[in-house]
Amino acid sequence: MISPVGADELLPLFVYDPDEHHALTHEAEGLPSVVVSSQAAGNAVMLGGGYFTPLKGFMNVADAVSAADTLRTTDGRFFPVPILCLLEDVSGIQGAGRIALRDPNVEGNPVLAVMDVEAIEEVSDEQMALMTERVYRTTDMEHPGVKAFNSQGRMAVSGPIKVLNFSYFQTDFPDTFRTAVEIRNEIKERGWNTVVAFQTRNPMHRAHEELCKMAMEATKADGLVIHMLLGKLKPGDIPAPVRDAAIRKMVDLYFPPNSAMITGYGFDMLYAGPREAVLHAYFRQNMGATHFIIGRDHAGVGDYYGAFDAQTIFDEEVPPGALQIEIFRADHTAYSKKLNRVVMMRDAPDHSKEDFILLSGTKVREMLGNGIAPPPEFSRPEVAKILMDYYQSLK
């Protein structure tokens, strides 16, 4: 099985030992505590599940700036984005050696993790600007990821953590949320060796379905892991429960039995385009995938990134040998009226735009909102029904 990044085995930071978990939970109630940002809570969940192996906790400012600038921490360890716990107010934890991190996304702000504080540092305007520019390729506050990153505060609290729960993800998505540990174990149980991972923050239409099947055929994969983001998105994106239902319906009806796992992870979308694509590949290797699909404008938003920047970054910025996972580079996929099947547009050079069934996201949302199913060549009718019901419920 493929090894985790930079380690022989996964290093999940969740406290699995029941006695230690009980003792830490009791201790945490008496520790100085702080409610962290949603982005920091997502980082803690990913650290807890082993996805960010071999990180031991939140980065200090020097490591965060180095990761943003060079994709390596100060000791040379590969990591593609800063993993920070940024706060506005640290007055309640100044001088504390051990603190409790509280969850902003669950009522009552329960303790999410316990941290051994190594440093509390102020991030300068210059450091914040550098990290923003390198990770997001823009400092435009209209970019949702830039806005979220720069709205957390400027005090960075760093140090190793021990994670006590997985926020709302385990309770709200019990059938879907999985740690990297759990996915690796299931891949082993199924006897899969070559595994394709597919990232999604949207429902899957025909083009997505066929793209996964193309990738599986091209790589001779034993199985597919559909791995959906369950955290916060930008306004207007379809909520996770609706996506989950639509994807499950598609897999039940249109994939062979035992060929696809439907899973999800607890993290807020960064919309960081190319750099987020590298992060996605990083933690897909950690969860046991050997191949990862990256299509046009992967993890992008607006017009901030070129169509294939999320693919070329693996040639231009990722250090050689840093990742073992292989990237399956996809073009835009669409239904060909000439061939009566979904194809990658680059594989149909004799086609004009009129030969494809192409619908914009805006047009599809408009149709669904009006109770009109997109053509079956674009979306499976059973999937369209779930989405139509959702959009109708908004009226």
Which pLDDT score is estimated for 353? 86
The pLDDT of residue 288: 98
Give the list of residues 6+ apart from residue 68 with CB closer than 8 angstroms, or none.
Answer: 81, 82, 130, 131, 134, 135
Q: Is the pLDDT of residue 334 over 90?
A: no
What's the rounded Cα separation, in Å, for the pair 141 and 232?
Answer: 18
Q: Is 116 exposed, middle or buried (0-12, 13-18, 19+ CB in 10 A)?
A: middle
49-66: pLDDT as tens digits: 999 999 999 999 999 999
pLDDT, residue 395, reads: 75
Asked whether residue 361 carries a pLDDT value surpassing 80, the answer given is no
Instruction: Indicate the pTM of the whole model.
Output: 0.93
Task: Answer yes or no: is pLDDT of 90 > 90.
Answer: yes
Indicate whether 237 pLDDT > 90: no
Residue 180 vs residues 12, 191, 244, 308: alpha-carbon distances, Å: 8, 17, 19, 27
Asked if 18-170 and 177-393 have one fold, the answer is no
What is the tens place of the pLDDT at every residue in 285-324? 999 999 999 998 899 999 999 999 999 999 999 999 999 9
Mean pLDDT of 261-279: 95
Across 347-374, average pLDDT = 85
Q: Please give the pLDDT value at position 238.
A: 84
pLDDT at 345 over 90: no
For 32-74, the three-class secondary structure string (H helix, E strand, C coil) is: CEEECCHHHHHHHHHHHCCCCCCCCEECCHHHHHHHHHHCECC
Mean pLDDT for 78-101 is: 96
With a cut of 90, say whether residue 241 has pLDDT above it.
no
What's the per-residue H, E or C state across 194-212?
A: CEEEEEECCCCCHHHHHHH
Kindly list the domain boundaries of the chain, sorted by start residue. Answer: 18-170, 177-393
Is the pLDDT at 234 greater than 80? The verdict is no
- 360, pLDDT greater than 80: no
Quick check: helix, strand or coil at residue 353?
Answer: helix
Distance CA 255, CA 250 (A): 8
Q: Would you place residue 333 in the very low, low, confident or very high pLDDT band (cuts 50, 70, 90)?
A: confident
Mean pLDDT rounded to a whole number for the chain: 94
What amino acid positions are annotated as catalytic residues?
Answer: 201-202
Could you count the other beta carbons within 10 Å of the beta carbon of residue 377? 19
Would you identify the CATH topology of the domain 18-170?
Sulfate adenylyltransferase (3.10.400)
Q: Left, alpha or beta for 340 (phi > 0: left; psi -120 to 50: alpha)? A: left
What is the reported pLDDT for 225?
98
Domain 177-393: top CATH class: alpha beta
Token digits for 44? Answer: 């803690």
